[in-house]
Chain A
């Protein structure tokens, strides 16, 4: 069975990579299997980990969960065109909850905490910071402000304002360059993982 499993996994891996040559039925077959298996995996996991755990293990203690179940059933009504409109109630719940939570989370963590960290003494409270730390503090402060100025499109980018926005663009270019570098690293890592499977687990050519 192990032999069959290895060859099956290799069949799927090479089928996906056959797309690099050109689109072909082998790739399309693998893609179709992937779509079906993914959807089925989600359904099974949700059933056992979510529904079974909530509605079978503690059936009556957590009675309020049944209201959530009713909302969930409303969501599933989207499958039926005639009464599909009622799924908007469940969708409205999702949108409202997400909006409420995100509003406070993003305001607190991504605005307040970040601004708090940006508005700090550049040289340390008692001039105790090292040269490297002072330089870093100045660069981060200038870069953050300049980047925010660039994103302010209500005023024309001219004069001092425009110059600051230009500095902001340069900082953003460094950010995107770092992101590109890490993206290359990430994608290559994934490929190395698959190559390792093919040449180590499957063909035994690599230790």
Chain B
């Protein structure tokens, strides 16, 4: 059988499997959950197979990169079927963000800036939902805006989910009174700069086209001095750095940050200097924030998969290094 035929056959079999699983879902079959013993068995099998990779690598036969890809895929997928629970330990920087929210009284105005796009959603969407849930539950007024064009769309998705939660839907929150989405503005840090003097100049209308002056929630909000707290959810440029440089350092805004893991490490100097109230970093930070705000979101659900994925990467690094050192010692002995 030629390689092309094998490829077509594999694609056909996989497509058929997907169709069967999909029809299974359509006809109401429940999701699959591994019981505790099966979960432990699966983890053990993954561990043993890593041992096999170690033996192969020591023998000088590095596994092909597609096998590594397969391992990563399995390491991320299988834990999502498992029922092992894990303890969430809250970092002080995440506690800092939550404590700032706790100090706000009912009716306080919170500016939430959605500065990210769909690729960063698995990390940032859970913290956005947790933030909105906490604000609505404690009667804080939320003003949403975005420096990224996809930000307001992500905000709408978060709002839909939180407003449909039964604890919040009972409150009958009103758009324009309890929350508002001002939409996106191009201009990066110049938008923040201009908001320092006047919000309306950068947001003449909300994302629905309602003029700024006709929105009850923001009628009396001229600039940052009328905002009690701001939470920036960002994944790059423009994002937290620009908010710190302008809104915090020049206009005295109190700011907490929610960042992707990649960006979080760069924000720690701002945290130490007191320019940030706290940082919710990556999916683990989002899980901790969900725990504190009591929002039942995706970040906590994904932490087991995150743990296993990290173990896999660490294992691969150790395997590669063990093989490297053993091989070096063998070469030194021979020479």
A and B touch in the complex (CB under 8 A): yes
Which of A's residues lie within 8 Å of B, judged by CB? 3, 7, 10, 20-21, 41-42, 45-46, 48-50, 52-54, 57-58, 62, 97, 101, 105-106, 108-110, 113-114, 116-117, 140, 175, 178-179, 182-186, 188-196, 199-200, 202-207
Distance from B51 Cβ to chain A, minimum over Cβ atoms (Å): 22
CB distance from A19 to the nearest CB of B (A): 10
B72: chain A residues at CB < 8 Å are 191
Query: Quick check: B77 and A45 within 8 Å, CB to CB?
Result: no
Q: Which of A117, A182, A203, A205 contacts B265 (CB 8 A)?
A: A182
Residues of A within 8 A of B21 (CB): 203-205
Interface of A is mostly: helix
- Pick from B117-125, B131-139, B171-179 the stretch touching chain A: B117-125
Interface residues of B in 201-216 (CB under 8 A from A): 201, 203-205, 207, 209, 211
Residues in B with CB closer than 8 Å to A113 are 249, 273, 275
In the assembly, what is the distance between CA of A101 and CA of B250, in Å? 12
In the complex, what residue of chain B is closest to A109 when comparing beta carbons?
Answer: B245
21 contacts between A and B (CB under 8 A): A20-B66, A45-B184, A108-B249, A109-B244, A109-B249, A117-B269, A140-B272, A179-B265, A183-B262, A184-B313, A188-B309, A189-B122, A189-B123, A190-B119, A192-B122, A192-B283, A193-B121, A195-B76, A200-B31, A203-B18, A205-B81
| Assembled-state Cα–Cα distance A62/B202 (Å) | 11
- A110, A190, A196: the one within 8 Å of B80 (CB): A196
The complex places the Cα of A163 from the Cα of B56 at a distance, in Å, of 42
CA A104 to CA B6, docked complex, whole Å: 62
Report chain B residues within 8 Å CB of A200: 31, 80
Of A46, A106, A109, most buried by chain B (CB within 10 Å of CB) is: A109
Closest to A6 in B: B22
13 additional contacts (CB under 8 A) given A109-B275, A205-B21: A3-B26, A20-B69, A49-B152, A53-B203, A182-B261, A182-B265, A183-B261, A184-B310, A185-B283, A185-B284, A191-B309, A195-B80, A205-B25
Residues of B within 8 A of A58 (CB): 204, 211
Residue pair A193, B122 in contact (C-beta under 8 Å): yes
Name the residue on A nearest B187 (C-beta).
Answer: A50
Complex Cα–Cα for A46 and B186 (A): 7
- Chain B residues, Cβ within 8 Å of A195: 73, 76-77, 80, 305
- A110 CB to nearest B CB, Å: 7
Q: What number of B residues sit within 8 Å (CB to CB) of A? A: 69
From known contacts A45-B149, A178-B265, A185-B261, infer whether A206 and B119 are also in contact, taking CB-CB under 8 Å: no
A166 to B285, CA, bound (A): 33
Question: Which residues does chain A contribute within 8 Å of B272, judged by CB atoms?
Answer: 117, 140
Residues of B within 8 A of A206 (CB): 31-32, 80-81
State A12–B52 Cα separation when bound (angstroms): 34
A contact residues around B32 at 8 Å (CB): 205-206
B108 at the interface (CB under 8 A from A): no
The answer to whether B184 touches A189 (Cβ under 8 A) is no
B47-85 interface with A by 8 A CB criterion: 66, 69, 72-73, 76-77, 80-81
Q: CA separation between A54 and B187, bound complex, in Å?
A: 13
Residue B185 at the chain A interface, CB threshold 8 Å = yes
Chain A proximity of B266: nearest CB distance (Å): 8
CB of B249 within 8 A of CB of A57, answer no
Instruction: Give the residue among B150, B205, B264, B281 with the most A Cβ atoms within 10 A.
Output: B205
Q: Give the residue name and chain of the A residue nearest to B285 (CB).
A: A185
Q: Assess the B273–A175 pair: CB atoms within 8 A.
A: no
Q: What is the bound-complex CA distance between A196 and B302, given in angstroms? A: 9
- B13 within 8 Å of A (CB atoms): no
For B281, list chain A residues within 8 Å (CB): 182
B306 touches which of A189, A199, A202 (Cβ 8 Å): A189
What is the distance, in angstroms, from B268's C-beta to the closest C-beta of chain A?
Answer: 9
- A90 to nearest B CB, angstroms? 14
B193 at the interface (CB under 8 A from A): yes
Shortest A89–chain B CB gap in Å is 18
